[in-house]
């Protein structure tokens, strides 16, 4: 689609404000936050995010009238030789979709976070950290907006790096403690892990960008896609390489195999962070990248197969791990990785609309699930405090170690936290893909596309993952909300305040009704995206696929009821699935030992290499042998032997000493003249007289 410059500016001049509003918000909080109340800080941040949503809506409305892409340049950036880049905001249907999702979900989460962080900073005993949280959140929104509105790969990368930074800052928000509040390196280690894993992905992204510039001469989207199509006929390895390196970046940011390992650890951050960044928005940046690079992927079918397979494998792999987790947020984290696998498989197959549709619906229900989980965790904390193990209780007693995240401490919460219970059920049904919730429509579209396009392996992997998804969500619901409370804190849990539950309800509505965005037949989103990604096409609804997937989902829920719902777990009891599957369950619970394998194969080997280079090569070889023996020894030998003994002592010293000796001898001899005898002095006088007389005579 040819882009048009903003001749008729319309509302497109508002485009940069999606970035400016959050920046203004964070600046206000930085400058004045120390004098503002918590409510004020939160309101400023949420308002900044809300205004961003308003601008996104206006831009979407403007695009409805004029669906062609519009680029709005704010300023010059790099003009160096062939590289010509500006700070240009690209408003087209794809970027507006992302803007809407990020700002809507972001605003709801900001509102939620006002209530959540109010309690969290008090549980962790540091109320002054409230402001920092909202500064970072606004920074994240700004960076994400740069990512989705960038007009070139490099501007996208600026946002890519920026959200990685915010992820680091927010995961390590409670950097000096671990999730239970004890002083530890655990949280900061998790932040580092996220940063480093993302870095490896960024390396892939950069190599792809270099190849792009080298092959196409530009990094700007339209220029790249234009050249790609013409070059693809003659030099396809280049495009395959570019797309595969981009895939490496995607595996980092969107947590696919092999770089997904940071996302479960990222649950160390506060729950709003997990919801916003690690469920709804940042991790979807990789999916957005592939969708944006659609022309490149369309030109490299081999790469498409790789992407789709990676996504499908990740989906199944992560789902198996989710089955064995006891931490409520870890289940959701692996679920996120699994659903991201769905999305990546979707856009990898060329089903860009399906992938983006699932991105949007997943943002709704995953954010909902995470925020509800946060509500449950807070409820447990409140209950724990009410039991008197908090600060008001007996000071002499050692506080017991209580993990509010552990599902084994929960149970029967539907009675104590009803609102949270209902919204959680909505989210779980959406995630499980049960008709008519949003997840059904989007997941189904991906499965249908896989089946139709002939990606058989991908289809079966995704279907198995869908079955497991329903199973582990069911397991979670029975474990948390049904049965008896397995810990006194769960009995005493309280429902969360309205500032928390209202965003949950809003998201539940979206999760329930979100399917309307792209109902088969209506295909609203597909046609919307078609303006940007020319290769999308509305998929036809395949009832067989829908029935298989729905049937498997119901089967999964039934199985989970049989194991966890019919006879609920008691306190201290072993998980029933463990009794069934034994070592397989242990593998699932221990994440298939991937982290341990990475440590043994890569990390420890790297440390060994570093130790080797430091101790053996640097110390023993270079320093001890080469410097000390060879260089210093030779030098000292030379100076001592040659220069000192021969040149200096025998040569120069001898010469000057000899001179001195001669002077001494001469002076000794001359001294003899002054022998003190008067007679010899008189003789000398007479000699002079005679000589003079003789001279005068004979002249």
Question: If binding is defined by CB under 8 A, does position 61 make contact with another protein?
Answer: no
Nearer to another protein, 630 or 693 (CB): 693
- Beta carbons of 291 and 355 less than 8 angstroms apart: yes
C-alpha–C-alpha distance, residues 21 and 350, integer Å: 35
Nearer to another protein, 233 or 695 (CB): 695
Strands 4-5 and 83-91, bridge-based pairing: unpaired
Identify the residue among 396, 583, 697, 699 touching another protein (CB under 8 A): 697
Both tokens of residue 52? 């961003």
Both tokens of residue 644? 């000192």
Interface map 228-267 toward another protein (x if CB under 8 A): ----------------------------------------
C-alpha–C-alpha distance, residues 417 and 350, integer Å: 43
Question: If binding is defined by CB under 8 A, does position 8 make contact with another protein?
Answer: no
Nearer to another protein, 544 or 667 (CB): 667
- Beta carbons of 106 and 281 less than 8 angstroms apart: yes
- Beta carbons of 336 and 236 less than 8 angstroms apart: no
For the bound state, the minimum distance from the C-beta of residue 690 to another protein, rounded and expressed in Å, comes to 5
CA-based nearest residue to 143, from 276, 242, 270, 246: 276
Question: If binding is defined by CB under 8 A, does position 666 make contact with another protein?
Answer: no
Q: Which stretch binds another protein (CB under 8 A): 432-440, 566-574, 582-590, 691-699?
A: 691-699
For the bound state, the minimum distance from the C-beta of residue 680 to another protein, rounded and expressed in Å, comes to 6
- Beta carbons of 311 and 346 less than 8 angstroms apart: yes
Identify the residue among 35, 128, 397, 671 touching another protein (CB under 8 A): 671
For the bound state, the minimum distance from the C-beta of residue 666 to another protein, rounded and expressed in Å, comes to 14
Question: If binding is defined by CB under 8 A, does position 183 make contact with another protein?
Answer: no
Nearer to another protein, 641 or 693 (CB): 693
Both tokens of residue 653? 């010293």
Which residue has 């989710």 as its token pair? 322
CA-based nearest residue to 427, from 613, 275, 222: 275
Nearer to another protein, 609 or 689 (CB): 689
Q: Which residues contact 16 (CB under 8 A, 6 or more apart)?
A: 72, 74, 89
Identify the residue among 388, 418, 660, 694 touching another protein (CB under 8 A): 694
Question: If binding is defined by CB under 8 A, does position 690 make contact with another protein?
Answer: yes
C-alpha–C-alpha distance, residues 344 and 307, integer Å: 7
Q: Which residues contact 2 (CB under 8 A, 6 or more apart)?
A: 68
Identify the residue among 397, 669, 679, 699 touching another protein (CB under 8 A): 679
Question: If binding is defined by CB under 8 A, does position 580 make contact with another protein?
Answer: no
Q: Which stretch binds another protein (CB under 8 A): 140-148, 222-230, 567-575, 673-681?
A: 673-681
C-alpha–C-alpha distance, residues 453 and 447, integer Å: 10
CA 179 to chain centroid, in Å, comes to: 19
Nearer to another protein, 562 or 682 (CB): 682
- Beta carbons of 523 and 135 less than 8 angstroms apart: no
Identify the residue among 7, 669, 676, 699 touching another protein (CB under 8 A): 676
C-alpha–C-alpha distance, residues 505 and 499, integer Å: 11
Nearer to another protein, 401 or 678 (CB): 678
Question: If binding is defined by CB under 8 A, does position 687 make contact with another protein?
Answer: yes
Look at residue 227 and give its three-state secondary structure. Answer: helix
Nearer to another protein, 562 or 690 (CB): 690
Question: If binding is defined by CB under 8 A, does position 668 make contact with another protein?
Answer: no
Question: If binding is defined by CB under 8 A, does position 80 make contact with another protein?
Answer: no
Following DSSP, what letter does each residue of 598-617 receive, concatenated?
HIIIIIHHHHHHHHIIIIII
For the bound state, the minimum distance from the C-beta of residue 683 to another protein, rounded and expressed in Å, comes to 5
Interface map 615-654 toward another protein (x if CB under 8 A): ----------------------------------------
Q: Which stretch binds another protein (CB under 8 A): 285-293, 436-444, 488-496, 666-674?
A: 666-674
Query: Rg for the chain (alpha carbons), in Å?
Result: 38
Q: Which stretch binds another protein (CB under 8 A): 121-129, 461-469, 497-505, 672-680?
A: 672-680
Q: CA triplet 370, 374, 375: central angle to 5 degrees?
A: 120
Nearer to another protein, 608 or 665 (CB): 665
Nearer to another protein, 652 or 693 (CB): 693
For the bound state, the minimum distance from the C-beta of residue 681 to another protein, rounded and expressed in Å, comes to 9
C-alpha–C-alpha distance, residues 278 and 284, integer Å: 9
Identify the residue among 522, 643, 654, 689 touching another protein (CB under 8 A): 689
Identify the residue among 37, 613, 661, 680 touching another protein (CB under 8 A): 680
C-alpha–C-alpha distance, residues 486 and 501, integer Å: 24
- Beta carbons of 477 and 564 less than 8 angstroms apart: no
Residue ranges of the alpha helices (H) in 33-92? Answer: 38-65
Question: If binding is defined by CB under 8 A, does position 65 make contact with another protein?
Answer: no
Q: Is the dihedral of CA 214, 219, 220, 222 positive or negative?
A: positive
Q: Which stretch binds another protein (CB under 8 A): 315-323, 377-385, 453-461, 684-692?
A: 684-692
Nearer to another protein, 498 or 664 (CB): 664
For the bound state, the minimum distance from the C-beta of residue 649 to another protein, rounded and expressed in Å, comes to 34
For the bound state, the minimum distance from the C-beta of residue 698 to another protein, rounded and expressed in Å, comes to 9
Residue ranges of the alpha helices (H) in 514-646? Answer: 524-530, 543-560, 576-581, 583-589, 594-598, 604-611, 634-637
Question: If binding is defined by CB under 8 A, does position 675 make contact with another protein?
Answer: yes
Give the binding site for another protein (CB under 8 A): 671, 673-680, 682-683, 686-687, 689-690, 693-694, 697
């Amino acid at each position: 689609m040819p882009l048009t410059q903003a001749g008729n500016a319309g509302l497109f001049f508002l485009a940069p404000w999606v970035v400016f509003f959050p920046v203004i918000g964070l600046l206000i909080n930085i400058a004045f936050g120390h004098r503002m109340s918590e409510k004020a800080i939160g309101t400023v941040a949420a308002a900044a995010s809300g205004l961003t949503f308003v601008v996104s809506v206006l831009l979407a409305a403007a695009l409805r009238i004029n669906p062609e892409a519009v680029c709005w340049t704010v300023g010059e950036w790099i003009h160096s030789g062939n590289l010509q880049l500006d700070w240009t905001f690209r408003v087209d249907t794809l970027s507006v979709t992302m803007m809407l999702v990020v700002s809507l979900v972001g605003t709801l989460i900001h509102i939620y976070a006002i209530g959540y962080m109010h309690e969290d900073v008090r549980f962790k005993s540091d109320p002054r950290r409230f402001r920092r949280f909202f500064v970072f959140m606004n920074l994240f929104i700004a960076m994400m907006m740069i990512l989705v509105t960038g007009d070139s790969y490099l501007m996208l990368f600026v946002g890519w790096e920026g959200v990685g930074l915010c992820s680091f800052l927010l995961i390590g928000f409670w950097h000096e403690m671990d999730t239970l509040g004890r002083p530890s390196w655990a949280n900061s280690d998790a932040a580092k892990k996220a940063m480093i894993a993302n870095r490896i992905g960024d390396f892939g992204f950069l190599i792809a960008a270099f190849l792009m510039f080298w092959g196409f001469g530009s990094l700007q989207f339209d220029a790249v896609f234009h050249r790609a199509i013409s070059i693809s006929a003659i030099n396809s390895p280049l495009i395959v390489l570019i797309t595969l390196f981009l895939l490496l970046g995607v595996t980092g940011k969107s947590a696919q195999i092999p770089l997904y390992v940071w996302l479960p650890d990222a649950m160390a951050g506060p729950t709003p962070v997990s919801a916003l960044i690690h469920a709804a928005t940042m991790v979807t940046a990789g999916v957005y990248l592939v969708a944006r690079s659609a022309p490149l992927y369309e030109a490299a079918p081999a790469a498409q197969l790789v992407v789709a397979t990676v996504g499908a494998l990740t989906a199944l792999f992560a789902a198996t791990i989710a089955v064995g987790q006891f931490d409520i947020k870890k289940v959701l984290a692996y679920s996120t990785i699994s659903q991201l696998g769905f999305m990546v498989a979707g856009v990898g197959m060329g089903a860009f609309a399906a992938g983006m549709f699932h991105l949007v619906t997943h943002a709704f229900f995953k954010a909902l699930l995470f925020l509800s989980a946060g509500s449950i965790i807070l409820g447990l904390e409140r209950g724990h405090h009410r039991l008197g193990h908090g600060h008001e209780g007996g000071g002499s007693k050692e506080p017991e170690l209580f993990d509010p995240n552990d599902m084994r401490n929960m149970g029967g919460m539907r009675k104590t936290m009803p609102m949270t219970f209902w919204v959680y059920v909505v989210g779980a049904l959406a995630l499980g893909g049960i008709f008519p919730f949003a997840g059904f429509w989007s997941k189904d579209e991906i499965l249908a596309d896989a089946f139709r396009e002939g990606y058989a392996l991908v289809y079966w992997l995704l279907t198995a993952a869908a079955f497991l998804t329903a199973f582990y969500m069911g397991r979670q619901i029975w474990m948390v909300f049904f049965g008896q409370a397995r810990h006194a804190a769960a009995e005493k849990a309280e429902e969360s305040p309205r500032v928390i539950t209202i965003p949950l309800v809003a998201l539940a509505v979206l999760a329930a009704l979100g399917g309307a965005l792209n109902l088969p037949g209506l295909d609203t989103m597909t046609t919307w995206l078609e303006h940007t990604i020319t290769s999308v096409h509305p998929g036809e609804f395949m009832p067989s696929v829908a029935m298989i997937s729905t049937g498997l989902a119901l089967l999964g829920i039934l199985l989970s009821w049989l194991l966890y719902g019919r006879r609920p777990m008691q306190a201290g009891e072993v998980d029933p699935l463990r009794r069934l599957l034994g070592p397989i369950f242990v593998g699932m619970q221990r994440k298939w030992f991937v982290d341990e394998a990475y440590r043994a194969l890569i990390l420890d080997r790297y440390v060994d290499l570093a130790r080797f280079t430091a101790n053996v090569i640097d110390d023993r070889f270079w320093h001890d042998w080469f410097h000390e023996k060879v260089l210093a020894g030779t030098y000292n030998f030379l100076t001592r032997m040659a220069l000192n003994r021969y040149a200096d002592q025998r040569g120069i010293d001898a010469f000057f000493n000899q001179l001195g000796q001669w002077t001494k001898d001469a002076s000794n001899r001359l001294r003899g003249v002054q022998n003190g005898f008067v007679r010899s002095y008189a003789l000398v006088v007479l000699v002079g007289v005679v000589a003079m007389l003789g001279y005068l005579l004979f002249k």
